[in-house]
Amino acid sequence: MVNVQHYLGVDVGASFIRIGVIDEGGRVIEKIKVPMPPEGDEDTVANIIIKGAKEDLAKYLPSISAVGIGSIGPLDLRTGNVIIAPNLRWRVKRFRLYAPLRTGLKLPIIIGNDAMASVWGEYLFGQGVGKNNVVYITLSTGIGMGVIVDGHLLVGKDGNAHEMGHAVVDIESDLQCGCGGYGHLEAIAGGGNIPRSARWYLEKRYRGQMSEVALMVKEGRATTPDIFNGYRKGDSFAVEFIDYVLKAIAAGVANVINAYDPEIVILGGSVFLNNSDIIMDGLNKYIKRYVVNRMPEITGTRFGDDIGIIGAAALAIRVPDSLKPFIESQEREMAASKG
Ligand SMILES: [Zn+2]
């Protein structure tokens, strides 16, 4: 193993931190998964990553040449920190990644947002190979997006370009998103919000018969899988509500196609992976009514859950030009804070 180069790919999600050992060709050699703790301090996430690398994955550590991180956001890429997302209910307002990881692992650290990492992984190793205009959308606890236009990974001033989860897809909705806004795609269709969104729909819009799922939603005991299962069984409320969710997703994806004119749109994330048949059918049915540009190919990721760690490693395997100035800035910030 002495001459083999490996990379660590770390997917920091709202529910799990996944760490993978990835080879130069984007293949997963080994992986571990740690639940995101319900509460933590500024260095809890970094410490979980360091412990995983030094203990569970210790035998690979000598062959690791860099660490790529794809994290939930919002990010502050100037410092390499993460602003605590609405999906995480921690007391501290941010957690640190760059400084503690750089000090703890003594390896190059490349940080991006999770969907940004995933699109880079698809571009280097997946269905984006050979294409210059690629979009990746994760439908998971939250909704995120990564975009490559003309071969260039879009990053933005702080690392939060194209916060697609907060695209407005229902201007009449008074359902508040975790971010405080209204009518946002993530409030309607994010896996973490679907039960709340269903309850809102039941109270404000549903005029049909009470059904088994409607009753569960009313009593606050319906999970996101319960509601999708209800749709599969033809439950009258679940069918109408999920149809609304599918229209919202189609509108969101259409906004992206109209904004960036991609050759391919790749979907992933747990909500998509568990319901890809329903969501692809919904897109086929509704997206054309919202799209102006020539339709791109729309497909699911072939990497399943592993896209997060593969994408994160991809950031380290070939560092995107648009991330390089941020790494310099993170290094300067770290040196400054050490005095
Ligand atoms: Zn929002």
Cα of 223 from ligand 1 centre, angstroms: 21
Q: What is the pLDDT of residue 105?
A: 98
For residue 224, the model assigns a pLDDT of 97
CA distance 327 to 319: 10
317 alpha carbon to ligand 1 midpoint, in Å?
A: 32
> Residue 114: pLDDT above 80?
yes
Could you give the 3-state DSSP secondary structure of residue 11? strand
Distance 250 CA to ligand 1 centre (A): 17
CA nearest to 62, candidates 15, 115, 1: 1
How many angstroms is it from 179 CA to the middle of ligand 1? 4
Is residue 250 within 8 A of residue 267, CB to CB? The reply is no
CB contact set of 293 (below 8 Å; sequence gap of 6+): 257, 258, 261
On the question of pLDDT at 197 being above 70, the answer is yes
Taking the centre of ligand 1 as the mean of its atom positions, its distance from the CA of residue 243, in whole angstroms, is 21
Q: How far is the CA of 252 from the centre of ligand 1 (A)?
A: 13
Q: What's the confidence (pLDDT) of residue 179?
A: 85
Residue 271 Cα, ligand 1 centroid: separation in angstroms?
18
% of residues, the chain, pLDDT over 90: 88
At 317 the pLDDT is 98
| Predicted pLDDT of residue 85 | 65
Q: pLDDT at position 339, please?
A: 61
Hey, where are the domains in the chain?
A: 6-119+306-337, 131-301
What does CATH list as the number for 131-301?
3.30.420.40
325 pLDDT above the threshold of 60: yes
Measured from the Cβ of residue 323, the count of other Cβ atoms closer than 10 Å reads: 20
| Fold of the domain built from segment(s) 6-119+306-337 | Nucleotidyltransferase; domain 5 (3.30.420)
Give distance in angstroms: CA of 75 to centre of ligand 1: 15
Looking at residues 69-96, what average pLDDT do you find? 86
Split at pLDDT 50, 70, 90, the class of 337 is confident
Separation of CA 315 and ligand 1 centre (Å): 27
| Alpha-carbon torsion, ordered 203, 242, 189, 307, to 10 deg | 160
Position 15 pLDDT exceeds 90 = no
Q: What is the DSSP string of 117-167?
A: HHHHHHHHHSTTTT-S-EEEEEESSSEEEEEEETTEE---SSS----GGG-
Characterize the bridge pairing of strands 264-268 and 134-139: parallel
Q: Model confidence at 93, in pLDDT bands (50, 70, 90)?
A: confident
Residue 163 has a CB neighbour count (10 Å cut-off) of 19
How much is the pLDDT for 89?
Answer: 72
CA distance 208 to 180: 30
User: Residues near 234 by Cβ (< 8 Å), separated by ≥ 6?
Assistant: none
Q: How far is the CA of 166 from the centre of ligand 1 (A)?
A: 4
Q: Residue 187 Cα, ligand 1 centroid: separation in angstroms?
A: 6
Please state, for a pLDDT cut of 70, what percent of the chain lies above it.
98
Give 292: exposed, middle or buried? Use CB within 10 Å, 0-12, 13-18, 19+. Answer: exposed
Q: Are 293 and 182 in contact (CB under 8 A)?
A: no
Q: Tens digits of per-residue pLDDT, 219-249?
A: 999 999 999 999 999 999 999 999 999 999 9
Q: What is the DSSP secondary-structure string of 19-57?
A: EEEEETTS-EEEEEEEEPPSS--TTHHHHHHHHIIIIIT
pLDDT at 269 > cutoff 80: yes
- Cα 90 to ligand 1 centre (Å): 18
- Lowest-confidence pick of 14-18, 160-164, 237-241: 160-164
Mean pLDDT of 164-192: 94
